[in-house]
């Protein structure tokens, strides 16, 4: 065989080896790609299957929420009036008045009262539960419990009856001093009084303090028993 033929055979073998090497490597890479794409397709199919009912469900949820918003906004405006309703919502959610109510386009033009600057959020939460609520002062349908401009103590009546009528129902604090209507005698032993104090109306003459010359402790004790007896009768 001539040398040129041997060289040609070697050259062809080299070419074939190179082709085989690179093609096998390419096949391996493509197989890895195919496997990855299979995984991707599985994931995408899962996404499609899982997201298929989302549209209907979200549409249903939005429909129900829209109905709820319409209901609550309508009820609030009906009961509180548009102006107070906008002010109330603005007080709870600052900036909401600018957006107004969704179903009431005119609400964006309402000059909302600055309720949140006068009442706390807790009061606002309980507000508009009736014309007795302090916020109802601006209600045009009748007098409100609280005068929004000048009232300061009327809101006390909103809370349970404990001390609202304190000046009338509770005893007054004792008056002390040398010229007080009830004179307390010095006690010989701590915590023990020689006689119980008797409330005396303001302006009335105080009972004269018994002196040792006019009977002292014995006479004041008898007077106390007499008063006690007359009280029982």
Partner 1 sequence: MTLEWIGDALLLLVVLPVVVYLLRGVLNAANSIVPSAHQIAAAATAGSKDLDATALLLTTQDQVKTTIEVAADYGGSLDVILDDAN
Residue ranges binding partner 1 (CB under 8 A): 2, 4-5, 7-8, 11-12, 14-15, 18-19, 21-23, 25-26, 29-30, 32-33, 36-44, 46-47, 50-51, 53-54, 57-58, 60-61, 64-65, 67-68, 71-72, 75, 77-81, 84, 128-131, 139, 141
User: Based on the number of CB atoms within 10 Å of its own CB, is 219 exposed (0-12), middle (13-18) or buried (19 or more)?
Assistant: middle
* Nearest distance from C-beta of residue 105 to partner 1, angstroms: 19
* Nearest distance from C-beta of residue 173 to partner 1, angstroms: 42
Of 54 and 169, nearer to partner 1 (C-beta) is 54
* Nearest distance from C-beta of residue 12 to partner 1, angstroms: 7
Of 77 and 115, nearer to partner 1 (C-beta) is 77
Of 143 and 215, nearer to partner 1 (C-beta) is 143
Q: Is the dihedral of CA 115, 118, 121, 125 positive or negative?
A: negative
* Nearest distance from C-beta of residue 92 to partner 1, angstroms: 17
* Nearest distance from C-beta of residue 43 to partner 1, angstroms: 3
Of 131 and 194, nearer to partner 1 (C-beta) is 131
* Nearest distance from C-beta of residue 114 to partner 1, angstroms: 18
Of 72 and 225, nearer to partner 1 (C-beta) is 72
| Cα 29 to Cα 19, 39, 40, 82, distances in angstroms | 15, 16, 16, 70
Q: Which residues of 87-114 are buried (b: 16+ CB within 10 A; e: fewer)?
A: bbbbbeeeebbeebbeeeeebeebebbe
Of 7 and 225, nearer to partner 1 (C-beta) is 7
């Amino acid at each position: 065989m001539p040398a040129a033929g041997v060289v040609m055979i070697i050259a062809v073998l080299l070419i074939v080896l190179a082709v085989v090497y690179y093609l096998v490597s390419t096949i391996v890479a493509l197989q890895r790609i195919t496997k990855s794409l299979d995984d991707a397709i599985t994931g995408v199919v899962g996404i499609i299957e899982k997201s298929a009912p989302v549209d209907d469900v979200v549409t249903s949820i939005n429909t129900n929420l829209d109905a709820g918003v319409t209901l609550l906004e309508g009820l609030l405006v009906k009961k509180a009036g548009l102006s107070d309703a906008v002010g109330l919502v603005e007080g709870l959610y600052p900036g909401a008045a600018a957006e107004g109510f969704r179903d009431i386009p005119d609400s964006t033009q309402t000059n909302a009262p600055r309720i949140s600057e006068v009442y706390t959020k807790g009061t606002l939460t309980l507000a508009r539960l009736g014309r007795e609520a302090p916020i109802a002062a601006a209600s045009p349908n009748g007098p409100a419990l609280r005068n929004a401009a000048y009232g300061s103590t009327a809101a006390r009546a909103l809370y349970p009856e404990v001390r609202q009528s304190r000046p009338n129902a509770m005893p007054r604090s004792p008056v002390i001093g040398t010229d007080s209507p009830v004179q307390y005698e010095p006690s010989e032993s701590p915590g023990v009084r020689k006689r119980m104090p008797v409330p005396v109306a303001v302006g009335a003459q105080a009972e004269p303090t018994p002196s040792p010359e006019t009977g002292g402790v014995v006479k004041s004790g008898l007077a106390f028993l007499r008063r006690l007896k007359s009280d029982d009768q």
